[in-house]
A = this chain, B = another copy of it.
Amino acid sequence: MDELFDRLFPICRSITGPGLRETLSILSEYLPLEQLGEPTGSSVFDWTIPKEWRIREAWVKGPDGSTIIDFKKSNLHVLNYSIPVNRKMGLDELKEHLYSLPHMPEAIPYVTSYYKERWGFCLPHRQLEQLEPGTYHAYIDSELADGELNFGHAILPGESNKEILISTYVCHPSLANNELSGPVTAAFLYRRLAAWTKRRFTYRFVFVPETIGSITYLHRFGKHLKEKLHTGLVLTCLGGAQHRLSYKMSRRGNVPTDRLVQHLFRLQALQGDIRGFTPINGSDERQYCSPGFNLPVGQMSRMVYNCYPGYHNSFDTKETMTIEALQQSVDELEQLLRAIELDGYYVNQNPYGEVKLDKHDLYPDLNSPLNGVYSSNNVADNRVQLDRILVMLNYCDGEHSLLDIADKCGCSILQLEPIVRILKEKQLLQGPYLEPRNEMIE
């Protein structure tokens, strides 16, 4: 993870261009990414793919000829999508092209102008204030040229062709939490899932430029996703000292990730908080959840965009993000995906009266006020296993989901994994099925 992060961080990414392509190439070394592109000028719904932005060099020299701003030091110094310039001018004119943050005088802001032609430089406000009158030389060696918008995906097949989407974005330049945390976490989550011995669902990992990239992706694959998607997540801002996850609900509010994340947070199987869905801000879930698609996709974060000082400026570094936080994110996302794999509708194969559990070594064969701690002759666990088995067998009627049953048991769905395994081994249970089935009606 460390290595991947360090290779990606310095690259000057944008929504198009060589930096984006280089990023996708490096990611391809970590997971089998299929690389795709959409040419400049294509219509994607209400949008048009813009020209590709390429930049080679950019600086400002001061009245004394010294370089005072240099793209080589930080690619945030250039207004993203700047057109070329090579001109001397007075300080007043230059200032119309300079961007800074008065409330954070040491930070270089991240500013973009994708759809209106501009040039500009970003710098710390303290430096801006100290500029003396005189003649400055602004130089940007960039071009906007026909090309394509690049993106990629990797499909990890499972038993079912129903899919789980993991989507993240790769258009931000040298910013750590927002956004290298998403792509790095996604790449390592892929490797984790690839190592599973069995996957119920097919997993689709998507790496796109934000907004226009996911719109382009939907233009190409939206119909397929509408048909196949079981549930999904946008990954963004997964770093930070913040130990709690933060989940933004899908627009539908009751899709598998919504229900399972709420459940796991409530039962403290994972630590985290819930945000409601909103189209006002956020990331690509705004596109996946646009009304024409309304896909079952939520968003998982930790140190949320807009809520930390380094948001969209040069203070968003590896140090505040931390690789450990990404590691923890991979672990927690894997737990969530295990819960999604486990959930569904199970059916008790002996639904008429109680199952005779002692026959199956799942009940003590002596009934005394003293053996109240035994789940079976050999399991002395205060009857925890027995109680869960009784609840499972009663409610596995094809109409209650395992999540519903876990709530009835007062435990997390992950704690029912061993019960499911025992009951399936004893052939007392079938499932999981994706949809409810009224098995009990004669």
Q: Interface residues, chain A, CB within 8 Å of chain B? A: 44-47, 99, 101, 109-116, 118, 211, 214-215, 218-219, 222-223, 226, 251, 278-280, 286-287, 289-294, 311-313, 348, 350-356, 358-359, 365-370, 387, 390-391, 393-397, 440, 442
Contacts and interface: CB of A to CB of B under 8 A. Distances in A.
The residue among A278, A289, A293, A368 with the most chain B CB atoms within 10 A of its own CB is A368
B115 A369 contact: no
Given A114-B367, A278-B391, A294-B397, A46 B312 contact: no
A46 B353 contact: yes
A123 to B, nearest CB: 13
28 contacts: A44-B353, A45-B353, A46-B353, A46-B354, A101-B369, A109-B368, A111-B367, A111-B369, A114-B367, A115-B365, A116-B358, A116-B365, A116-B366, A211-B354, A218-B352, A219-B353, A278-B391, A279-B390, A279-B395, A280-B391, A287-B353, A290-B351, A290-B352, A291-B394, A291-B396, A291-B440, A293-B352, A294-B397
A347 to B, nearest CB: 9
Given A45-B350, A46-B353, 17 more contacts: A46-B350, A47-B356, A109-B369, A112-B368, A113-B365, A116-B366, A215-B352, A215-B353, A219-B352, A219-B353, A279-B354, A287-B353, A289-B394, A290-B354, A291-B395, A291-B396, A291-B397
Contacts of A290: 351-354, 394
Given A215-B354, A218-B353, A312-B369, A391 B279 contact: yes
A355 B278 CA distance: 15
A283 to B, nearest CB: 12
B109 A356 contact: no
